[in-house]
Amino acid sequence: MRKNKTTQVYNTPYQLKLPLEIEKIIEISDPVYTFCEVMNQIDLKRYLVIKENRTGRRRFDSETLLKVILFAFMEHGYVSTREIEKLCKTDIRFMWLLQEEKAPSHMTIDNFMNNYLAGSIENIFNEINRYIFEVENVDLEHIYIDGTKLEANANKYSWVWKKSSLKNRQKTFDKVSALLEEINKMIVYQGIKFDIRNEYAIEYLEQVTEQYVNLVDLHPETIVRGRGHRKSTEQKHYDKLIEYTEKLKNYAEHINICGDSRNSYSKTDNGATFFRMKRDYMGNDQLLPGYNIQLGLCDEYISVFDVKQYASDMDCFQPLLEKFHDTYNKYPKYPVADAGYGSLNNYIYCQEHGMEKYMKFPMFKKETEDAKYRDNPYRAVNFPINENGNPVCPNGKEFRFLYTRAVKNNKYGRREEVYQCEDCSNCSLKEKCSKAEGNRTIRLNEELTGYHQEVLNNLNSTKGALLRMNRSIQAEGAFGTIKWNRDYKRARRKGLKGVIFELSLISCGFNLHKYHLKKLTLLSAA
């Protein structure tokens, strides 16, 4: 009998083999067992309150879905919902976590993450830390702090600058004033005059527009547009009032979005601020929209994280430690940070809350490595103090107190004392001491100088050297791992809340993975 060429053969050379239990195929040292150890100690129902539908299909089990998501972030770093769906269909460990449940679709995962997990992920992160820190006996007295700029999911050339908005708004105010002066000349015969102000509220201009339309008997529906039509003077005034009002609305919106702490934002992600970011190994940078990511590590674990919309790390120090206190009901004894965090206000904050000062100040490196700069006798901080409490220059001239003033552009109220030399004329050391034509003027802050000396003593001690080394290993190493090993070099979600959610998932996965690696190290050493 001739074989039909269209006949299909459905059997394959692969046959089903025992055992059928997936658990028996997974190695005993696999991270999934460490993951289950931690998750089984957490009451997830407290944080996953989902209202069941009375009609329709049964919901996917929320605890199972959460475990699948967190294990994906533990193993692979940042993963998309489609990648998680694929893992549930191809990876036996995810199949085991599902417990014979059908693999969820990426839409199911995305809906769960946005509607239910986003509001509770930080609490789950704290619960994971609570168990790991108890088992590992993590030291919460030492915290290593560092920050980095994370590029936002926004257009590179969509910036809006607060200063430009303020400048253009003032120009528009001036144009409105000139326009109202012109209108007042036209309607003077009616005995009516519009107020001319330095600044104009939107509501006021809308009232002016409405009153002007009534005064000149202008009907907006009959206004002519396009080529070949000549506009009347009244229509030109009306069009300019509408134009200026819309411009002022836009400027007010831009300024409101920026707020008090930001100088810019992105049109495609209003939560992102434009920063100078390093882009290559040569140190070349670009102006890009992003967020300021802050991490605090204890014994290589992320104990606290924060996301800010401004560039200065100095302003991020206190909110981060307040969040640490809210989580663990205590302040760390030794906060260790680089020169981006050293400021008078942060030192005072540490003093008030019983924390030692191990944060570098901006000139720390030069103070410790450049002896010529440190020992320069012409530096104001090196001037000896006489019996009157005034500095004395190398030539023996006294600097007399003039006044105390606030430091420019310091929003925390920092002040400094201003002194002036009694007589710099005919001084043989004038060229080395000062370039000023008259008597030299110096600015001092005795409190800040004292804090700098305390920080120098702390960081140059044996303990300080060890803490600095540990900070560079733990804090900077954590960012290196997150960016390059866990594929989180750019935000995927938009908005501040979205970035916080992503960082929460990344931090959960980071700590779970670190816990597993430490367990393996102990087992191999045993």
Name which of 63-67, 86-90, 202-206, 384-388 the model is least confident about: 384-388
Query: Which residue's entry shows tokens 């034509």?
Result: 437
SS3 category, 302: strand
pLDDT at 2: 55
C-alpha span between 368 and 348 (Å, rounded): 23
pLDDT at 14: 64
Q: What is the pLDDT of residues 110-126, one digit of tens each?
A: 999 999 999 999 999 99
Report yes or no: 502 and 492 within 8 Å, Cβ to Cβ: yes
C-alpha span between 228 and 234 (Å, rounded): 18
pLDDT at 51: 64
Half-sphere exposure of 515 (CA within 13 A, CB side): 28
Is the predicted pLDDT of residue 263 greater than 80, yes or no? yes
**pLDDT grade for 8, boundaries at 50, 70 and 90:** low
170 CB-near residues (< 8 Å, 6+ apart): none
pLDDT at 524: 84
Report yes or no: 139 and 298 within 8 Å, Cβ to Cβ: yes
Q: What is the pLDDT of residues 176-199, one digit of tens each?
A: 999 999 999 988 888 889 999 999
State CA 118 to chain mean position distance: 18
Q: What is the pLDDT of residues 286-326, one digit of tens each?
A: 899 999 999 999 999 999 999 999 999 999 999 999 999 99
91-97 contacts, C-beta under 8 A, 24 or more apart: 92/22, 92/25, 92/26, 93/26, 93/30, 93/32, 94/68, 95/22, 96/22, 96/23, 96/26, 96/32, 97/32, 97/36, 97/64, 97/67, 97/68, 97/71
Name which of 178-182, 186-190, 253-257, 497-501 the model is least confident about: 186-190
**pLDDT grade for 141, boundaries at 50, 70 and 90:** very high
pLDDT at 284: 82
Q: What is the mean pLDDT of residues 82-103?
A: 93
C-alpha span between 524 and 526 (Å, rounded): 6
Q: What is the mean pLDDT of residues 128-156?
A: 96
Is the predicted pLDDT of residue 476 greater than 80, yes or no? yes
Name which of 223-232, 335-344, 470-479 the model is least confident about: 223-232
Report yes or no: 309 and 291 within 8 Å, Cβ to Cβ: yes
Helix axes 446-459, 344-352, angle to 10 degrees: 70
**pLDDT grade for 223, boundaries at 50, 70 and 90:** confident
Is the predicted pLDDT of residue 500 greater than 60, yes or no? yes
